[in-house]
Each structure stands twice: as C-alpha cells, then as structure tokens.
C-alpha cells in the first residue's frame, strides 16, 4: 500500500467508523467468544507475499469484530468507561498521520507548547489553583509511579537514584485498602516493597482513611526507625468509588512533612462540574494529582493527566540528559520526557484541544451530570425493588448492588450467576467487586453517547434476568 492508495482506504475506514458507532446498540456489549477462538482463525505463520488491503479489512470484520468487547457501546456499564468522542478520534487520526515523537521541545515544538496550554486549560476547567503544573502521561499507573519515585527521592534526600536503597532506612507509604492496584505496583517498582505500603483503616459512608489512624501509623513508624515518605489518597476508588478526606489527609501529611498524591483517575473528570468538587475538598493542598481524561471526559485512550506542585522535584527525580538529548541553546523550553518514566511520547495534547473545542466545557459537563443523574435514578429504582439491595451508595455515577430475594441461600453465588447471565445476554455489560465481605455488582454510567433510555434498559435487563434464576 502506498500513500496514493490512502484516500480510498482512509475513506472506507472513516465510513466504517461512523457506521460502527451508530450501530453499536445492535451488538452484544461483551465479546461472546470462547478462549482461543480468535487465535484459531489466524494463520500460524506470517505471509511472505504482500496481501491486498481489501482482504485485510475484510478479515478485520470477519475475524476481529466478533472478538471485541465494545467499550464505546452506550450500554457499557462495567469497570470504568474508556471513552472515544468522535472529535478526539479525529485528532488521533492526525496524531497517527504525523506520528511525531514528542520527547523534547525541539522534536515538535507545537506538541510541547500545546501540552503546556492544554494542561493549563484543564487546570482551570477543574477549578485547580495555578500552583499546579500539568503533564500528560500514558496512564494513571505511570503517573502514580512517578509520584512514588518523587516521594522516595525526597525522603532519601535525593540519594535513591544514585546510591540505591541498600543501607537506607525503610521507606513507608500510607494508603487505604480502597486505592487502585497501580499503587501497589508503583511501590514494588520503586523498590520500596509491598510490606512498606501501610494500609490505613477507613471510616464513614465514603470509606475515607481515618486521619487519626494515619497519624498514629506515621508516629509509630517514626518511633520504630522507619522513614515515612508519602501518603496516597483516592477520590473515586476503583471498587466502590471511595473518597478520602483530602483536607484532613493533607493536614496529617503536612504535620509530618510528607508528600501527598491523589489518585482521581476516574472521578477527576467530574470536577469539570463545580458541584462535585466537595468530593476532593482540599485538593489544592495536595502535592500531586492524577486523572484520566481517557476515562470519563471523552478523549480516547490513552491520555492521563498528572498535575504537580513542583515540576522541579519531578524532573530532579526523572530527568536524565545524555549528550544526544541535550537541546543546545534553547532556553526557557520544557522537555516533557523529563516529567515521566518513558522517553518517547505521542502528541496526546491534540486530543484535548479537539475535545474541549468541539464540545465546550459545557457540553462535557452536561454529559457527566447526566450520567450521574441517570445512575442515581437507577439506584433508586433498584432500591425500591423488594428483591434488590443497594450495597454502596452512588458516588457520582458508580454504585454497587446485589440481588437478595427472601430465602435465597448463598447470595455471593446467586449474584455471580446473575452477572454471568446478564453478560451472556449481551444487552448490557456489568462487572463485580467485593465490599463488606460481599460479592456485589458494580454499575457505572459514563459512555459518551449514552442516553437515559440506555440506563433505563439496565433496570429491565437486570430485573428480567434475575427473575429467571
């Protein structure tokens, strides 16, 4: 295939894309294939000869499509959403077309300068003070790793990268059990060790870390000769949407000189709407914060935004300048590869530029408000049903529930059966979690094109299938 053939196939793919999205409601949300079914249709050896693009595209429809779970389906209520607003898909096509590698300012000045401005747009849109400086990462996992590395280096007086951890006091990091597993992995990768991630008990309806318990844990560790380095709080934990009290957490951390990182990977996008910001009250006192516009805001995967108070601390931890990366003579520039673990970077800021302009902050806010309202209305309908119970109350558009008809025996097994049958049915897609020692079903609204009728249909499917058990 040559560039001269591109318009023909490009138009075909563009038409396919629009048709695909418009027809999603006709497809089962979760892939309905068995393990190995797709691989069995792929030749075991690669072709020696070039093959026609029409054959490749036809095989895409025939082999690949049945094996996709449709994350852009308006009735995708599983995990957290991973959106792809059409304007951001358009931007991503241009990113692919130019395929610039944006590690340094000079490797594409527009990408760096666009990123600086987009991060400032987003900062303002989220109601954050201008003490935060943003950078785009591939994932919240990478951003949280960067935050943990900064915690480690600060606590070790910048000696960790140089001298390693041998012979140093044991670093301690504090978080509740509600934080995402990316926190555990950041602790492993940073060489701190899972045993030094101290779990703080939670309290209250939002399952927030108990500040008194946090304080006591830090004091006990200090007395035992450990080196407390930082606290990781969450706004919208993955299982049930737990929210730490950011102000109270920062109070404790500040008293002990600890770095505070806030993981708001999913819920952060909701902060476009001022009425939700009470969930992270005190955020301006955190040292860093991550949220994924690729989850709920609408830019397609991947685009995670990391805000830090001190870019100096971040670059002191991560920047490295061999001769071949020096940018001679260009003063006052930012090389964003010094703000993250990977060197290479895509031009992701373009997706935010297209998204925010094409929908306006108001359009993005309206979608999020709708998702919250519709999810809460569904929770009320299920609560009113005599055989269902709401296990954790809605946090934004996430709640958990279970089917608990009178006289039923093992409710965990019953709900595992229910969710399996719902997902095999295909009209909606849900996932599960454990909370309060119960197997519960999670419901999250957040797909960009979802309408009220899609969330309403969830009620019909859930109650209809439950009645057949």
Contacting residues toward ligand PLP, per CB under 6 A: 80, 139-141, 180, 182, 234, 236-238, 263, 265-266, 292, 304
Does residue 155 contact residue 226 with C-beta atoms inside 8 Å? no
Pick between residue 160 and residue 237 the one whose CB is nearest to ligand PLP: 237
User: Min. distance of Cβ 253 from ligand PLP in angstroms?
Assistant: 19
Pick between residue 259 and residue 403 the one whose CB is nearest to ligand PLP: 259
User: Min. distance of Cβ 255 from ligand PLP in angstroms?
Assistant: 26
User: Min. distance of Cβ 11 from ligand PLP in angstroms?
Assistant: 33
| Beta-carbon contacts of residue 459 (< 8 Å; ≥ 6 apart) | 378, 381, 382
Pick between residue 28 and residue 268 the one whose CB is nearest to ligand PLP: 268
User: Min. distance of Cβ 447 from ligand PLP in angstroms?
Assistant: 15
3-state helix, strand, coil in the chain (%, to 5): 50, 15, 35
**Dihedral class, residue 70 (left if φ above 0, else alpha if ψ from -120 to 50, else beta):** beta
| Beta-carbon contacts of residue 383 (< 8 Å; ≥ 6 apart) | 389, 390
| Sheet with 304-308: strands ordered across | 133-137, 304-308, 288-291, 259-263, 227-234, 171-175, 197-199
Pick between residue 265 and residue 465 the one whose CB is nearest to ligand PLP: 265
d(C-alpha 249, C-alpha 246), whole Å? 5
Q: What's the Cα-to-Cα distance from 222 to each of 14, 218, 290, 311, rounded to whole Å? A: 60, 6, 28, 28
User: Min. distance of Cβ 293 from ligand PLP in angstroms?
Assistant: 10
Pick between residue 156 and residue 264 the one whose CB is nearest to ligand PLP: 264
Pick between residue 215 and residue 287 the one whose CB is nearest to ligand PLP: 287
Does residue 284 contact residue 258 with C-beta atoms inside 8 Å? no
d(C-alpha 245, C-alpha 172), whole Å? 20
User: Min. distance of Cβ 83 from ligand PLP in angstroms?
Assistant: 13
d(C-alpha 409, C-alpha 79), whole Å? 27
Pick between residue 73 and residue 295 the one whose CB is nearest to ligand PLP: 295
Pick between residue 142 and residue 337 the one whose CB is nearest to ligand PLP: 142
Choose among 343, 313, 320: nearest CA to 142.
343
d(C-alpha 440, C-alpha 293), whole Å? 27
d(C-alpha 355, C-alpha 352), whole Å? 5
| Residue 444 φ/ψ, nearest 5 degrees | -135, 125
Distance of CA 401 to the CA centre of its chain: 22
Residues in the chain: 469
Going by the DSSP 8-state scheme, the letter that residue 164 receives in this structure is -
User: Min. distance of Cβ 236 from ligand PLP in angstroms?
Assistant: 6
Pick between residue 236 and residue 394 the one whose CB is nearest to ligand PLP: 236
User: Min. distance of Cβ 235 from ligand PLP in angstroms?
Assistant: 8
Pick between residue 28 and residue 134 the one whose CB is nearest to ligand PLP: 134
């Amino acid at each position: 295939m040559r560039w001269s053939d591109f318009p023909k196939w490009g138009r075909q793919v563009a038409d396919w894309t629009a048709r695909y999205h418009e027809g999603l409601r006709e497809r089962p949300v979760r892939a309905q294939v068995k393990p190995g079914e797709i691989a069995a249709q792929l030749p075991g050896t690669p072709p020696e000869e070039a093959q026609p693009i029409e054959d490749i595209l036809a095989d895409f429809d025939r082999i690949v499509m049945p094996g996709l779970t449709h994350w852009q389906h308006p009735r995708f209520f599983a995990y957290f959403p991973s959106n792809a607003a059409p304007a951001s898909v358009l931007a991503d096509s241009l990113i692919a077309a130019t395929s610039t590698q944006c590690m340094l300012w000079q490797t594409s000045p527009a990408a760096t300068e666009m990123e600086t401005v987009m991060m400032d747009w987003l900062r303002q849109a989220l109601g954050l003070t201008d003490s935060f400086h943003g950078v785009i990462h591939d994932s919240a996992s990478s951003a949280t790793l960067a935050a943990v590395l900064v915690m480690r280096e600060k606590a070790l007086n910048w000696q960790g990268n140089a001298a390693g951890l041998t012979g140093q006091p044991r670093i301690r990091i504090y978080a509740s059990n509600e934080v995402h597993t990316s926190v555990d992995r950041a602790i492993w990768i940073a060489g701190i060790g899972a045993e030094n991630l101290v779990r703080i008990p939670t309290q209250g309806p939002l399952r927030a870390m108990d500040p008194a318990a946090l304080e006591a844990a830090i004091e006990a560790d200090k007395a035992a000769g450990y080196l407390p380095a930082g606290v990781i709080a969450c706004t919208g934990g993955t299982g049930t949407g737990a929210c730490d009290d950011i102000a109270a957490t920062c109070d404790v951390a500040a008293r002990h000189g600890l770095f505070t990182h806030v993981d708001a990977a999913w819920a952060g996008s909701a902060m476009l709407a001022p009425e939700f910001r009470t969930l992270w009250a005190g955020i301006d006192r955190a040292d860093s914060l991550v949220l994924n516009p690729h989850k709920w805001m609408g830019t397609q995967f991947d685009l995670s935004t990391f805000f830090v108070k001190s870019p100096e601390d971040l670059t002191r931890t991560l920047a490295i300048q061999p001769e071949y990366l020096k940018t001679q003579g260009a003063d006052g520039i930012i090389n964003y590869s010094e703000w993250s673990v990977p060197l290479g970077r895509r031009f992701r800021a373009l997706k935010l530029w297209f998204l925010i302009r094409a929908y306006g902050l108001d359009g993005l806010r309206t979608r999020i408000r709708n998702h919250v309202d519709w999810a809460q209305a569904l929770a009320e309908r299920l609560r009113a049903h005599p055989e269902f119970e709401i296990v954790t109350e809605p946090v934004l558009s996430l709640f958990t529930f279970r089917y608990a008809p009178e006289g039923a025996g093992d409710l965990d097994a019953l709900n595992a059966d229910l969710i399996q049958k719902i997902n095999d049915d295909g009209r909606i897609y849900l996932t599960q979690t454990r909370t309060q020692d119960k197997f519960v079903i999670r419901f999250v609204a957040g797909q960009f094109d979802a309408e009220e009728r899609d969330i309403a249909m969830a009620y019909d499917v859930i109650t209809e299938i439950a009645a057949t058990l």
